[in-house]
Amino acid sequence: MSAAGPLLNAADLHVWIEGSHILQGVSFAVPDRGVTALLGRNGVGKTTTVKALLGLVPRTGRVDFGDVETTALPTHAIVTMGIGYVPEDRGVFSALTVAENLRLAERRPGKPRYELVHELFPELRERADQPAGTLSGGQQQMLAIGRALLNDNRLLIVDEPTKGLAPRIVGEVADAVARAAEQVPVLLVEQNLSLVRRVAERVVVLDAGRVIHTGPALALLDDPDRVRELLGVSRAAATTAGKATAPSSTGTTMTASTPDTTPASGATGTAGPDTPASEAEGRRTA
């Protein structure tokens, strides 16, 4: 934590979707520098947490960004306070061209940082007139990240940027996230533990709609047993995560195959009796 206090603070966030209690009192802070990784198995509420922070889903609780409480603000007002958002599904507008996607993200006042975006992703300049729907998955991810970097934001929220990408592209995206993190604090939702190891300084682990662990990233990733316990990955994968030095889309990725919701010992919270939250999100929002 910085001496000035967290950049973003979420307190006791609850989200209900179609009767299911998806977030059950999520509380955590994002400091004003470095990368904070939000971890957890599929369906535990990571994406819903991000959407709750941005006001994209109805929620109760409290969210502060800087010294402003944003709980009652609409999404656009929260974002214009200085948040760049890269959603899980990339959120590119397929019928618009690459240039139009970027132009849409321009925020006034302020000078859009096209030089930075084109330096990071030269392909976006070359494909400026191409409809975004015809880009590959990796190119769409570059566009989504480039769009978030276009403005001079105070925080980037990046939701699973390497999901579904080829290993070669994962490296490029990881480079972009690392580069972005040099300039702006990042809240990174990620299942690729190698990427988390490379870029994240802190981790927040969710399970069944609750925060079950917070702390330094390496302290968790260097402990395979703890990784296995909190994130439900196999022991081999957990060990690999502890040793891996380069991001990879295989091996260290938390998988959705873990059927149970293992309560974490020593956690700051445990799954409540209406644990179907994780299942419900898996069906609806994950």
Partner 1 sequence: MSTVILLVVTGFGLGALYFLIASGLSLIFGLMDVLNFAHGAFLAIGAYGTWWAANFLPGAGPDGLGFLLAVTFGVAAGTLAATLVELCVIRPLYGRHREQILATVGLSLAVPALIQAVWGADPLTFPKPELVSGTVSLLDVHIPRDRFLLILAAVAVFTVLWLFNSRTRYGLIVRAGVQDRAMVTALGIDVRRSFTLVFAIGGAAAALAGSLGGLYFGVVTPTQGLSLLVFAFIVVVIGGTTSLTGCAIASVAVGLIQQFANYYTVAGLGDIAVVIVLALVLLTRQGGLTSKKSAERVA
Residues that bind partner 1 (CB under 8 A): 54, 56, 74-77, 79-80, 85, 87, 91, 93-96, 100, 103-105, 107, 131, 133, 147, 151
Q: Which is nearer to partner 1, 22 or 230 (CB)?
A: 22
CA distance 99 to 132: 9
Instruction: Please work out, in degrees rounded to the nearest 5, the angle formed at the alpha carbon of residue 216 by the alpha carbons of 151 and 88.
Output: 40
Minimum CB distance to partner 1, residue 263 (Å): 33
Minimum CB distance to partner 1, residue 156 (Å): 13
Minimum CB distance to partner 1, residue 15 (Å): 15
In three-state secondary structure terms, 153 is coil
Minimum CB distance to partner 1, residue 267 (Å): 31
Strands 20-30 and 8-17: antiparallel
Q: Which two tokens stand for residue 241?
A: 């995560």
Q: Which is nearer to partner 1, 104 or 219 (CB)?
A: 104
* Phi, psi (degrees; rounded to nearest 5) at 164: 75, 10
CA distance 126 to 128: 6
Question: 211 and 12 in contact (C-beta within 8 Å)?
Answer: no
Cα dihedral 280, 167, 247, 265 in deg (nearest 10): 20
Minimum CB distance to partner 1, residue 55 (Å): 9
